[in-house]
A and B are shown apart, each in its own frame.
Chain A
C-alpha cells in the first residue's frame, strides 16, 4: 500500500476498531478533504511498529503500560487514559454446551468436553491475551481450584494475534468460546458470561488483589522477558513525537475524550473515564 505523506495516520488496538472509525467519521465531517490511513494490530505489535520507526499521528492502545514499557520517553511523551473495560467469556448460540454454561461452571464446561474449542489472543502481541492468562491465575485462587491455570492453558490451542480476530473466529464458528473484552463482545452481538469483579480486571478497588497474579511474556529484546502484573484495564491514547500532524492529532484526542467521543465509546460498550 502506498502511503500519502499528508494523510492523517492512526495505528490502534484491534479492539478499538469501531470507536476509532466512528471518531474519524466525525473528523471527516469537520474536514471533508481529510485523507486518513487506519491500521490496527495487537497493542504490543502497534507499539513495536512505532518504536521501529513507523510514522503515525495517533497511537491508541488497550493498555497504558505498553506505552510505558515500549514507547515512553523515546517515542511518546505522555499517554492519556480514556476508557476502561472488563474481560468476559464470549460465545454464540451455536457454541457447544451454550445452554449449560454459566458464571459458576464455565471452567468445567470448557475443560470437560473434547468437542469444545475455546480461544484467546496472543499474550505477546495483545493485552487481551495476557489479561486472559492473568484472569485464569486469579480464577484459580478465587474458586480455590489448584491446577486450573495449567489445565485451561493446556487445552487452549486456538490463539489469535488480537482480540478482534478471536471475535471473528467466534462468529465464524471456528471456536466455541473466547476470552474477550466486553466491548468487543457487544460490538459483535455475541453472547457472553460476565466474571466476578475479583477476576474480570474491571475494578480499581481490587488493584492490589489483581497485582497478586503475574505472567511472563516476550520482552522488547531477544531473551529478555517482561513480567506482566495484573491490573485494572485502562485504554490509552498518545501522539508520537514523530507525528507530522500534531495539531490535528490533539483535535482527535479532544474529540475522543470529549462528549462526542464519550458517547461513541459508551455505544461501543467501553466505559469512558
Chain B
C-alpha cells in the first residue's frame, strides 16, 4: 500500500498543477480560473464545482492563500495567490509529469515498433 503524501498535489486530470500554474502566472479568483482552465486543458470538461473544491483543498494544504479582492464594478471575490509551498509542489509535480511523459513515450514507441512488425517483435 502506498502512503499518500499530503505535501503533494494530485495529478488527476492535471487539475491541481494547471490551477497552480495559472495562479503562478497571475493571482486570480475562482471564476477567472474556471474561465481560463480550458486554455491549458482544452479537452478536459471539468465541472466548476470541482475546480472550486480543488482550490479550497490546496489552500487548506498551504499551496495557495486567498484574500478578498474588490473589483471596480463588481463584487468582492476570493483572490488566490501561490505560496512558496505551492511553488515547490508545482516543481515536484512537473518532475512526475516528465516521468509520466517518458513512460508514455516509451510505451508508444514499443507499440509503434510492434505494430510495424505486424504485432510480434520476437518474429522480427
Contacts and interface: CB of A to CB of B under 8 A. Distances in A.
Interface of A: 64, 67-68, 78-81, 84, 202-205, 207, 232, 234, 236, 257, 259, 262, 271-273
Interface in B63-120: 68, 70, 73-78
Interface residues of B, number: 21
Given A64-B75, A78-B70, A78-B75, A272 B52 contact: yes
A80 B52 contact: no
A60 to B, nearest CB: 12
A272 to B, nearest CB: 7
B94 to A, nearest CB: 26
Interface string B19-41: 00000000000111011011000
Given A67-B75, A234-B31, A273-B77, 4 more contacts: A68-B74, A81-B78, A84-B49, A204-B31
A84 B32 CA distance: 14
Q: Which 7 residue pairs of A and B lie closest in terms of their CB atoms, listed nearest first?
A: A64-B75, A271-B49, A79-B75, A204-B34, A204-B31, A80-B76, A273-B52
A259 B60 contact: yes
B67 to A, nearest CB: 11
> Chain A contact residues: over half helix, strand or loop, or mixed?
mixed
Contacts of B77: 80-81, 273
Contacts of B35: 204-205, 207
A234 B60 CA distance: 23
B62 interface: no
B75 A273 contact: no
Contacts of B76: 78-81
Nearest to B59: A259
A64 B52 CA distance: 18
Contacts of B53: 271
Nearest to A72: B75
Given A78-B70, A259-B60, A271 B52 contact: yes
